[in-house]
Chains A and B, each alone.
Chain A
Amino acid sequence: METDILIIGAGPAGLAAAFEMASKGLDVTIVDESITMGGQLNQQTQVIPSLPSSFQSMRGFELAAHLTKQLEEYDIRYLLGHRVIGFYKDGSVGITDEQDVFAVKAKKIIVATGAAENAVAFPKWTLPGVMTIGAAQTMINRDFVQPGKEAVIVGSSDFALDAALQLSEVGVHVKGFIEKNAGILSRDLEKIEQVKKMGIPIYLDSFIKEARGMGAVEEIEIEIGTRVLTEKVDLVCVDGGRSPILDIFYQLGCSFGYQKELGGWVPQYNHQFQTDRQDIFLAGNAAGISTQGVLLVTGMLAGINVCEAVGAITKTIADEEKDFLWKELEILETKYNPNIWEARNRHMENFAHPVIKEQFLS
């Protein structure tokens, strides 16, 4: 199979990139492991704060539907339920439908593999009933399953607050937030107020000392300063933050740099969202963990840069569109967290000095 552009990942960044390129007449193929488009937006029932100016305010799953719908009029090849498992010597991408493997030859590739949630370790954290906050959210909003009756949340980010509020709405009794830092991590005052109003306690300077249970979690001990609290719970949702998914970049031999604010190791890329492999671009959380509005803009930027690289648009038009989008990216990311914007710029400036090249890290 041959295509102009292969996009790996059908989440917000991948779909935004697809729109930029398909609307400029390029032949686009999208591959995603999942059978649904929209990535992790599908289980986000909260209203997404700060979307780019061309978007109306909407909930996550509505945004997924919107991004999918705006591609309808273009002839895009979708390889859903398919996985990239490697690369052939000639640069073709090895893709499997879980039965057979076939090769896809693309002029350019955009890697938009997104992020994975990090675990939070404590004694017996591997017991069934302990899961990531994203997993709990997926259970209730995608699979319509209540993952437990009594829960605690480890962490206090925006994302943790959203998960707790949504769990409460479907009848899960949230017994508290356990935050290891001295303050709440979320900057969303409205959500913090909502949580406080519901009477959910937020334990600061605290951690889970141990989880116990036969075959699944039944009880946890929370250490709060000098005090130890025992709670009966059958669900522990952990928020360890997120990190870019890098498997494909390792396989491609891309170089990496470390930026704590961007989620740890991130592929090196320049202002064109191009990695040190000229044919490989990237977008979304894979280019540094940020907020949904930013992910969309990085997808658009990657798409426009690829259009320019293959000659689908002139430099003048590309520059005009990119100028506008970079301004938008700065506004959205600075508003969310100025440290991330600074880290992104630092990371791009480091492009000429890769830290790690062709080395496996995990």
Chain B
Amino acid sequence: MHIQHHPILGGQLHKPVTIYFNDQPYKAYEQQTVAAALMANDIKRLGLSRNLVQPRGLFCTRGRCCSCYMTVNGEDHVRTCMVKVEEGMKIYLNDEDPDVRREFCGD
């Protein structure tokens, strides 16, 4: 849920943008990060861990834990807690390794 009236900071969400998660449109606001905007729309599972195949989501919001990796506008492994939303942004789950890793059998 977006917080339209913050008890201390007041109303701060003024400029809405539309983002696309799995090709479906969702409402976000300009100053929000991608992971936060998805959480506001009740999307918490952002990817799957490779080894244990378990759901992963936002954890640290500081760009350190890398639990919020997603594919954003065609780029894999974007830390979505560090990137702000943009109009028309296309976001997909981080459910499998990108091609470059599959091809070269990285660790």
Give A residues with C-beta under 8 Å from B.
33-35, 45, 59, 61, 116-117, 119, 126-132, 134-135, 138-147, 169-170, 215-216, 245
- A144 to B3, Cβ gap below 8 A? yes
B17 at the binding interface (Cβ < 8 Å) = no
CB B35 to nearest CB in A, in angstroms, measures 8
- A116 to B62, Cβ gap below 8 A? yes
Cβ contact of B61, chosen from A126, A139, A169, A215, cutoff 8 A: A139
A selection of 20 A-B contacts at a CB cut-off of 8 Å is A59-B8, A116-B60, A116-B62, A119-B59, A126-B67, A128-B56, A129-B57, A131-B60, A132-B61, A135-B61, A139-B39, A140-B6, A142-B31, A143-B32, A145-B3, A145-B36, A147-B39, A147-B58, A170-B6, A216-B57
Say whether chain B's binding surface is mostly helix, strand, loop, or mixed. Answer: loop
Given A128-B58, A139-B36, A146-B3, A33 and B63 contact (CB-CB distance below 8 Å): yes
Kindly state the interface size class of chain B when it binds its partner.
35 or more
- B36 to A143, Cβ gap below 8 A? yes
Complex Cα spacing A45 to B45, Å: 28
Cβ contact of B2, chosen from A35, A116, A132, A144, cutoff 8 A: A144
- B59 to A132, Cβ gap below 8 A? yes
- A141 to B44, Cβ gap below 8 A? no
B46 at the binding interface (Cβ < 8 Å) = yes
- Which residues from 35 to 93 on chain B have a C-beta closer than 8 Å to any C-beta of chain A? 36-37, 39-40, 44-46, 49, 54-65, 67, 81-82, 84
- A144 to B13, Cβ gap below 8 A? yes
- B61 to A138, Cβ gap below 8 A? yes
- A130 to B59, Cβ gap below 8 A? yes
